[in-house]
Amino acid sequence: MPVAPHVLAHAADPAARDRVALRTPERSRTYAALAADVRAGATHLGATGTRPGDLVAVSLPDPLDCLTAVLSVDHLGATPLVCDPSWPRAHRAEVLRTLAPRTFVEVPLPRGTGPAAGFPAPGRAPEPGDLAWAGFSSGSTGRPRAVVRTRASWAGSFDDVTRLVDLTPADTVLVPGPLASSLYCFAAVHALAVGAGVYLTRTPAATTTALARCDVVHLVPQVLDDVLAAVAAGAPSRLRHAVVGGASLPAGARARAAALGVDVLAYYGAVELSFVAYDPDGSGLRPFPGVELDVRPLPAASVGEVWVRSPWVSRGYLARATGPLRRDGAWSTVGDLADPLPPDGGALVLRGRGDGAILTGGSTVVPEDVEVVLRAVPGVRDVVVLGTAHRRLGAVVSAVVECDDRPGLRAHLERVARGALAPAQRPRRWYGTRALPRTPSGKPARGAVSEALGGADPASAGLEPLR
């Protein structure tokens, strides 16, 4: 997946070498300078014992340093494992213990001091089957697992993404999230492959400022909402396209974006599966190019399980870890649920992750069906619906609402639930919080919410009964 060969090729092109490749609010690197850094970093890694095929963990808080290190590892022919630099040291050590990376990069690699051609080219010619990237996924729950993919499994989709967003080398792509998230890492390396510029930001304020210099942005729905609010409030922007993944698009978001001159490409995928389906215009999810879809029936359920046959699927998990990825010959799934596909090949309608379904009193409740109703209520910034233990029913539907203090909100939510949800879907327990815990990509961390609700004192985790 990383694109060191593309970066070096752009650096050798007189028309591209002086174009800005990477930018943060503090500094920038042209393609020529970045290529020199990549060669210098690869040379340093090779001199200190790293060899082609080795696993190299990268944990650097500055995104420009992090991406440069990832490209250096790739140029050497090793496999970069992109870590979350916000992890506490003890947690990081425990996660990496079983993976046993050959090298751990936690300080910036040496930078180039001259033209890229001045450095030897370590490594070998890249192959499509090389293990060229590894990153962590827990979805929204559970312990992080390291997913590894071949170069072809992501780089092969570059042309389709380029076409869908009409990306050109003259564009700048805004990446407003951590590179530990595959969503944001893909956005950055895809832009580098095209020869476009990449603007890396880490704070909402920096993201707002960057809008004036960026044409395309990759983000999750919550960040899209923040970006659109900033543009509507008058922030200078030249955005024309937003690529949105990580969760379903809220109602009205596409129309809000269109009113501000921004086209939205929404997609569904998973770290293990990469792209699965996309929706460029609001007509519904259709198979991403190269992907075949099947929704397989489940016993005693109206929804089925989404299976894909695709060249973009990852190799699997490192260290023989177990996770939601399952295979059946050439087909793969992570357990996501969807309505049965229409006979005429209509849109894919997702119904959430299978392992998140709530069994309550003999009924099966899909959390996302409840969340989409509650999220539309004024005063609700976001909501997580999950099951909590109940002696008689097995579990009951519980809602954790991200909101400010607002008298009467619970009563209003209950009225909406009675009017729009079946009895089994209506939350029995309501909690409020100022800020939901989130994954590095910005999605609500369901596992952390579930753990807080199951603890002896939910209030200590910031969860209070909603009134």
Q: In the prediction, which pLDDT does 196 show?
A: 98
Domain end among 354, 374, 407 = 354
Q: Which residues pair with 294 in a beta bridge?
A: 307
Cα 377–Cα 379–Cα 380 angle in degrees, nearest 5: 65
What CA–CA distance (Å, rounded) separates 409 from 413? 6
Do residues 191 and 21 make contact, with C-beta atoms less than 8 angstroms apart?
A: no
- Token couple for 457: 């004192």
Q: In this structure, is residue 249 part of a structural domain? A: no
In this structure, are 47 and 143 located in the same domain?
yes
In this structure, are 4 and 144 located in the same domain?
yes
In this structure, are 335 and 380 located in the same domain?
no
Q: At 291, give phi and psi (nearest 5°).
A: -105, 135
In this structure, are 33 and 146 located in the same domain?
yes
Q: In the prediction, which pLDDT does 439 show?
A: 81
Q: In this structure, is residue 263 part of a structural domain? A: no
In this structure, are 362 and 461 located in the same domain?
yes
Which residue range is the domain that position 411 belongs to?
A: 357-465
Amino acid at position 380, single letter:
V
What CA–CA distance (Å, rounded) separates 293 from 281? 20
- Token couple for 363: 């009924």
Q: In the prediction, which pLDDT does 459 show?
A: 79
Q: Looking at residue 321, which CATH number applies to its domain?
A: 2.30.38.10
What CA–CA distance (Å, rounded) separates 454 from 449? 9
Q: List per-residue pLDDT tens for the chain, 467 residues long.
A: 579 999 999 999 999 999 999 999 999 999 999 999 999 999 999 999 999 999 999 999 999 999 999 999 999 999 999 998 888 788 788 889 989 999 999 999 999 986 554 445 555 677 888 898 999 875 444 467 899 999 999 899 999 999 999 999 999 999 999 999 889 999 999 999 999 999 999 999 999 999 999 999 999 888 899 999 999 999 999 999 999 987 778 879 999 999 999 999 999 998 899 999 999 999 999 999 999 999 999 876 778 899 999 999 999 999 988 888 999 999 999 988 889 998 877 899 987 766 677 767 656 677 888 898 999 999 999 999 998 887 667 788 999 999 988 788 999 999 999 988 878 889 999 999 999 988 877 888 887 888 888 777 787 778 888 98
In this structure, are 59 and 123 located in the same domain?
yes
Question: E strand or H helix at 363, and its extent?
Answer: strand 363-365
In this structure, are 365 and 338 located in the same domain?
no
Give me the number of domains the chain comprises.
3
In this structure, are 283 and 428 located in the same domain?
no
Domain end among 329, 354, 379 = 354
Write b or e for each residue in 134-167: b if 16 or more Cβ atoms lie within 10 A of its Cβ, otherwise e. bbbbbbbbeebbbbbbbbbbbbbbbeebbebbeb
Q: In this structure, is residue 177 part of a structural domain? A: no
- Token couple for 112: 């180039």
- Token couple for 87: 């992890």
Domain end among 354, 381, 411 = 354
What CA–CA distance (Å, rounded) separates 306 from 220? 21
